[in-house]
Amino acid sequence: MTRDGQAFWFKPPHGGEIRALTLGAPGPGEVLVRTLFSGVSRGTEALVFRGGVPPNQYEIMRAPFQEGEFPGPVKYGYLNVGVVEEGPDELAGRTVFCLYPHQTRYVVPADAVTVVPGSVPPERAILAGTIETAVNALWDAAPLVGDRIAVVGAGMVGSSVAGVLAGFPGARVQLVDQDPERAKIAEAFGIEFASPQEAAGECDLVVHASASEAGLARSLELLGTEGEVIELSWYGDRKVSVPLGEFFHSRRLAVRSSQVGAVSPARRARRTYRDRLALALDLLSDPAFDVLITGESRFAELPEVLPRLAGGELPALCHRIVYGS
């Protein structure tokens, strides 16, 4: 028996389209999932939309269930929540998260889906992939009790890091962004907000996620002696300059990358990808994370909505896509 479906395909540099598809029945150890919601991670998907993935990063940037090759056409995405329509008894009828593109139905191995806890609404569970990035970044950063921490860049990733850090024992956590509208994100998490000019210095740790040269430069300025910047920005094919003069050497500052493609070395011996994703979903029990979902559209509207998201005409952190009636 076959099942009909639809999928959104990116066609860089200026378009996208919905294509019809036919699915086979799930085999042993597979599940058929009907999508409820997917999320557009604006920063990464805008880069894919404009064809900005560098050729030497094509393999690294592949989504787990991507079809097509960069620069495109390509079926891309990784924030998908649905219901298992067919599969093993323990999964049938369960709400699950999967790192799958924007598609109405899909068949994947059963171990590619993670059950969404009952405490997490499916509408919020689309954030799991980004919260997973934040978890990995903080495993890399290893903040300590009482640390002075700045998160520079209140986009989807930076705000997710700030949300996970909220309530960290004794810490001074400040979310830093040039857009005063982002103060509402900090307020939702119960942490401080500051403009780049007013941010508090002498930080032990700065997590940088603004994807800008100015943000990286300011992150270094905010560090105290022997402080460290954890770099989460993905610049794609853009060249960036790092200011390594002034206090960089005398204060013994450091810049270190973090990337979700591999479990942090700090936990790799004791945590799997599934453990990390399950932790991210558990963290989403906090309703404060709803502040990261800043818009909503129907699946059929994606060809019109994505260009507006990519061009900044439609401001967004995570834009939720709704499936079904």
Tens-digit pLDDT profile for residues 243-278: 898 889 999 999 999 989 899 999 999 999 999 999
pTM for the predicted model, two decimal places: 0.93
Q: How confident is the model at residue 82 (pLDDT cuts 50, 70, 90)?
A: very high
Q: Are strands 254-257 and 223-231 parallel, antiparallel or unpaired?
A: parallel
- Percent of the chain exceeding pLDDT 90 equals 85
Give residue 291's identity as a one-letter amino acid code.
Answer: V
Q: What pairs with residue 150 in β-bridges?
A: 174, 206
Find the angle CA(182)-CA(256)-CA(76) to the nearest 5 degrees.
65
Residue 274: CB atoms within 10 A of its CB come to: 11
Give pLDDT tens digits for 132-186.
999 999 999 999 999 999 999 999 999 999 999 998 999 999 999 999 999 999 9
Whether the per-residue pLDDT at 47 is higher than 80: the answer is yes
Q: Report helix, strand or coil for 151.
A: strand
Domains for the chain: give ranges and CATH numbers. 3-127+284-322 (3.90.180.10), 132-257 (3.40.50.720)
Find the range with the poorest average confidence among 84-98, 218-232, 309-323.
309-323
| 3-state helix, strand and coil shares in percent for the chain, rounded to the nearest 5 | 30, 30, 40
DSSP state string for 230-249: EE----TT-------STTTT
Give pLDDT tens digits for 23-46.
999 999 999 999 999 999 887 898
Terminal-to-terminal C-alpha distance of the chain: 24
pLDDT at 292: 97
Q: 93 near 115, Cβ under 8 Å?
A: no
Q: How many residues does the chain have?
A: 325
Scanning the chain, the segments in alpha helix (DSSP H) are: 42-49, 122-125, 128-141, 156-165, 183-189, 213-221, 273-283, 302-311
Whole-number Cα distances in Å, 47 to 50, 53, 62, 74, 122: 5, 6, 13, 12, 26
Average pLDDT value for residue range 221-237: 92
Q: How confident is the model at residue 234 (pLDDT cuts 50, 70, 90)?
A: confident
pLDDT at 50: 87
Q: 43 near 133, Cβ under 8 Å?
A: no
Task: Name the helix (H) or strand (E) containing 12.
Answer: none
Residue (of 161, 167, 170, 164) closest to 190 by Cα position:
167
Average pLDDT value for residue range 223-227: 98
Q: Report helix, strand or coil for 163.
A: helix
